[in-house]
Amino acid sequence: MTAPAGPRDGVEITVGYRGLGGMPDRLEARAVEPAEGDAPPWDANTPLRQVGGDHDRVDGLAKASGRAKYTSDVNLPGLLQAAILRAPIARGKLVQLELDAARAMPGIAAVVALKNVGSRVRFVGDAIAAVAGADLHRVRDALAAIRADYEVEPHNVDWLRGEDAPLLDADGEIAEPWPEAVALEGALALAATTHGATYRTEVQTHSSLEPHGATARWQGEDLEVWSSTQATFGVRGELAQALKGRGLRVGAVTVHAEYVGGGFGSKFGAGVEGLACCLLAHAAKAPVKLMLDRFEEHTTAGNRPAALLQLRGGLDAEGRLIAWDVRSYGGCGFNVERGDGGGNVAVPDYYTRAAKTRRKHTDLPADTDPARAMRAPGHPQGWFGAELFLDELAHKAGIDPLELRLRNDSQTMRQDQWRFGAERFGWAAARARPNAPDARFRRGVGLASARWSQLGSAGRPPHGVQCRIHRDGSVEVRSGAQDIGTGLKTVLALIAAEELGIDPKLVQAFTGHTGDPSGPGSGGSTTTPSLSPAVRHAAFLARQQLAGFVATHLGADAAEIDCRDGTVGTRTQRLAWAEACKLIGPNPIDVRGQRFPNYGGKPFSASVCGCQFAEVEVDTWTGQVRVLRMLAVQDCGLVIAKKLAESQVLGAMLQGISFALHEQRIMDRQSGRMLNGDFLRYKILGSADVPELDCVLMTVHNGHSSTPAAGLGEPPAVAAPAAVATAVFHALGEPVRHLPITPDKVLAALARRA
């Protein structure tokens, strides 16, 4: 074990990580200055009994039994159903909107316009009006009775056919010359091996289990909303702002999202569907539910944008990158024209620290629904191109792809991960295994790196968590943040149980109600690291109050009281937890913990990092690709709920396989309509396609807060598509540079190789 270096001042903690599988420990002492009143920091030497264990999800039984109520399950007395009239044109102007016929139909309680006459229409599915009625059958009849006329303009739904799009040759390569760059050209001229190629990905829709939507009711001047959202407080603020003309105050809006069926980045706002639901409920003077159907989900609720990127680079004789040139393009719908962008493509920078580099990106518009964030925005697209490019460069230079990365990866932690992962995966043996020249099935292995910024994954204030200890020994922890399926309730319960020294079964966690302390939106991998220190601080304060009661009872000093193993007391006098809690009295201990700023100074690691390995089998007769097994080695800060953290990584791997092999939005250029806006024609990974999956988590103490967790929404999603693509390259001996890797592209690659 590496001996920690001595600190200079402040509270001494040990940061870093212990090596996996015989790898060296990377530990060091560091001085930090916690905020006054905060819980003392957990570090690499802190013994933890509950945190890090293999606990079941605390709400698993409620979800499996159907007792968990999602937004679509909310049914209120007198509830009306609602739907949205959507534009059938891709570009133009609304010139007439007549709603009276719909309002006069039986069973219809309210009709509202969502666009004014003269407003722009920007894609097929743009919201025009909304109707609420007794049931969806009557609502759909009323939608058909609305007369909406449009002034149609020429449209373009293919972002690579716009006037600013780059010129592509017959092979899909960008045919335009590279802009002049003297330093880069000089480095390329000195390179022993050079390569250049173009890589492309298609639009991927979020395909969340629960669709977007809301249920709303007004009670006088107050608005109560049940929303399928990733940001309860964001929805509250958005609706209050949109409805302030009706005199609505932020404090008069209550948002519930106790259970959410996924979002992946698509559900940060109330959306037009949420606003329409509130407007209809106000007009009808009755509660209204409006949930999108699957076609609307695919066509109007956002997507991961398509990407095109061209890379060129060079290695010196030692296999080190000395030149790295990237230009990329993002297809993010009409976001570009309204100034929102959103199509940026990220590429790894830890391979190129010693290289001459250049990076240029351009967003290209199209008359389609706008892009939204999706698990590590821009990263899976860019990492696919960059990692496959590195494999091709390694192949040209006669270097093993793993060895190329070891020679160039500037992050020590990932160097350790590469070596451990390669040993566990059996990289050398699998890479050396030959494919018979005439074999129908060919196997290959590939690998790719993962990264997400530590700035986001470290969390941030200002947020809080409420903790209550009741006289019967039960404990509540409450956060207004939403649990979108990642297991926030379990995280809150485990941390509180750890701090109080009790069984997690005694702790009940509540999330998703804006009446409770605020929490962040579930994005950027920030929720867990933002709230973990807050719930720990709340439990820390509650424990201090309980210690006061017990100290008085025992005639001891409160400073001598601790909580552990279900007991409370001093070294010589202890009470069972239940007996100690009887001292509380009729009113529970009720405290609010807060999220203090992160400790100053440089974190141990500037990013959350990992790597993944994949093995595939390719049928050379049909062109079908099957992933056989994958391994992920992933840093996630302090592992709090091991089973849930592993689930996050495994889910990211499955989404990455689906992106790499199946998912693609198909647009009709003539009508501007998506042709595969359902799960019959929009292909995603199925249960029969799930490979053998292996996940190894690394607890890394970054020393940024009292509870140094890191988010896992983004990091593991970055590597999976690239790992699959590099494995296909190894199997075929020819790269497929356009995702998804469908049979036609595989057969074309085989033909090129032949």
Q: Confirm whether 23 is domain-assigned.
A: no
pLDDT digits 0-9 by tens, 94-125: 999 999 999 999 999 999 999 999 999 999 99
Examine the pLDDT at 455 and tell me if it is beyond 70.
no
Confidence band of 5 (pLDDT split at 50, 70, 90)? very low
Evaluate whether 550 touches 583 at the Cβ level (below 8 Å). yes
Same domain, 137 and 279: yes
Indicate whether 701 and 745 sit together in one domain.
yes
State the Cα–Cα distance between residues 718 and 382, nearest whole angstrom: 9
pLDDT score of 340: 74
Q: Per-residue pLDDT averaged across 401-412, rounded?
A: 97
| pLDDT band, very low/low/confident/very high, at 746 (cuts 50, 70, 90) | very high
| Whether residue 405 sits in one domain with residue 327 | yes
Please give the pLDDT value at position 7.
Answer: 43
The answer to whether residue 169 sits within a structural domain is: no
Burial 145-184 (b: 16+ CB within 10 A, else e): bbebebeeeebbbebbeeeebbeeeeeebbeeebeeeeeb
- Among residues 270, 291, 312, which one ends one of the domains? 291
> The tokens 């959202």 sit on which residue?
229
Tally of residues, the chain: 754
Paired tokens of 442: 């060919």
In the numeric block, the tokens 């647009």 are attached to 667
Name the percent of the chain lying above pLDDT 90: 93
Q: Using the structure block, give the residue that is written with the tokens 């799009």.
A: 165
Name the domain count of the chain. 3
> Are 249 and 239 contacting, i.e. CB atoms less than 8 angstroms apart?
no
- Edge-to-edge, what's the strand order for the sheet holding 222-227? 108-113, 127-133, 80-86, 288-291, 213-219, 222-227, 253-256
**E strands present in 51-173:** 80-86, 92-98, 108-113, 120-121, 127-133, 147-152
Say how far apart CA 638 and CA 700 lie, in whole Å. Answer: 6
Is residue 172 in some structural domain? no
Residue 8 has a pLDDT of: 42
Residue 640 within any structural domain of the chain: yes
My answer on whether 616 and 641 are in the same domain is yes
131 and 261 together in one domain: yes
CB contact burial 463-496 (16+ within 10 A = b; e otherwise): bbbbbbbeeebbbbbbbbbbbbbbbbbbbbbbbb
**Environment class of 571 (CB within 10 Å of its CB; exposed 0-12, middle 13-18, buried 19+):** exposed
Residues in contact with 251: Cβ distance below 8 Å, sequence separation at least 6, in sequence order: none
Min mean pLDDT across 31-35, 470-474, 579-583 is at 31-35
Report the chain's mean pLDDT, rounded to a whole number: 95
**Closest by CA position to 43, among listed 12, 5, 15, 24:** 15
Which residues, at least 6 apart from 501, have a Cβ–Cβ distance to it below 8 Å?
49, 562, 563, 564, 565, 566, 567, 568, 577
pLDDT over threshold 90, residue 1: no
Q: Is 598 helix (H, G, I), strand (E, B) or coil?
A: coil
Of 321, 314, 309, the closest CA to residue 386 belongs to 309
Domain of residue 520, residue span: 42-60+460-594
Exposed/middle/buried for residue 575 (C-beta within 10 Å: 0-12, 13-18, 19+) = middle
Integer Cα distance of 240 and 235 in angstroms: 8
Tokens of 405: 């990365």
Q: Which of 258, 291, 324 is the last residue of a domain?
A: 291
Let me know whether 451 and 468 are in one domain: no
**C-beta of residue 405 within 8 angstroms of C-beta of residue 449:** yes
Q: Using 50, 70 and 90 to split pLDDT, how confident is the model at 4?
A: very low
> How many whole angstroms separate alpha carbon 625 and alpha carbon 305?
24
Residue 89 has pLDDT above 70, yes or no: yes
Share of the chain above pLDDT 70, in %: 98
Is residue 449 included in any domain, yes or no? Answer: yes
pLDDT digits (tens, 9 = 90+) for 428-452: 999 999 999 889 999 999 999 999 9
What tokens appear for 59 in the block?
A: 């709400």
Residue type, 169: D
Shared-domain flag, residues 191 and 314: yes
Closest-CA residue to 481 (of 433, 538, 520): 520
pLDDT in tens, 143-184: 999 999 999 999 999 999 998 999 999 999 999 999 999 999
The pLDDT value given to residue 251: 93
Q: How far is CA 404 from the centre of its chain?
A: 29
Give the pLDDT band (50/70/90) at residue 670: very high
Query: Partners of 694 in the beta sheet?
Result: 631
Residue 454 pLDDT grade (very low, low, confident, very high; cuts 50, 70, 90): low
- From CA 403, how far away is CA 169, in angstroms rounded? 33
Q: Span 444-465, mean pLDDT? A: 88
Residue with tokens 């109520």, as numbered in its chain: 69
DSSP element (H, E) containing 468: strand 464-469
Do 392 and 406 fall into the same domain? Answer: yes
pLDDT in tens, 686-727: 999 999 999 999 999 999 999 999 989 999 999 999 999 999
Q: pLDDT tens-digit profile of 613-657?
A: 999 999 999 999 999 999 999 998 999 999 999 999 999 999 999
Query: What pLDDT score was predicted for residue 437?
Result: 84
| Residue 573 counted as domain residue | yes
Domain shared by 396 and 532, yes or no: no
Q: How far is CA 333 from the centre of its chain?
A: 21
**pLDDT tens digits along 543-567:** 999 999 999 999 999 999 999 999 9
What does the angle CA 511 – CA 712 – CA 699 come to, to the nearest 5 degrees? 110
Separation of alpha carbons 123 and 672, rounded Å: 7
Would you say residue 2 has pLDDT above 70?
no
Which residue type is seen at 516? Answer: D
Those residues whose C-beta lies under 8 Å from the C-beta of residue 717, and which sit 6 or more positions away, are 375, 376, 379, 380, 450, 652, 655, 656
Distance CA 339, CA 48 (A): 48
Last residue of a domain, one of 594, 629, 656: 594
The structure's pTM equals: 0.96
- Is 622 strand, coil or helix? coil
Q: What is the CATH number of the domain that holds 355?
A: 3.30.365.10
pLDDT per residue as tens digits for the range 198-227: 999 999 999 999 999 999 999 999 999 999
Does one domain contain both 346 and 492? Answer: no
Q: Do 644 and 522 share a structural domain? A: no
pLDDT, tens digit (0-9, with 9 covering 90-100), for 76-88: 999 999 999 999 9
Same domain, 446 and 484: no
Omega before residue 166 within 30° of 0, cis: no
128 within a domain of the structure (yes/no): yes
168 lies in some domain: no
Query: Among residues 293, 270, 283, which one has the least CA distance to residue 132?
Result: 283
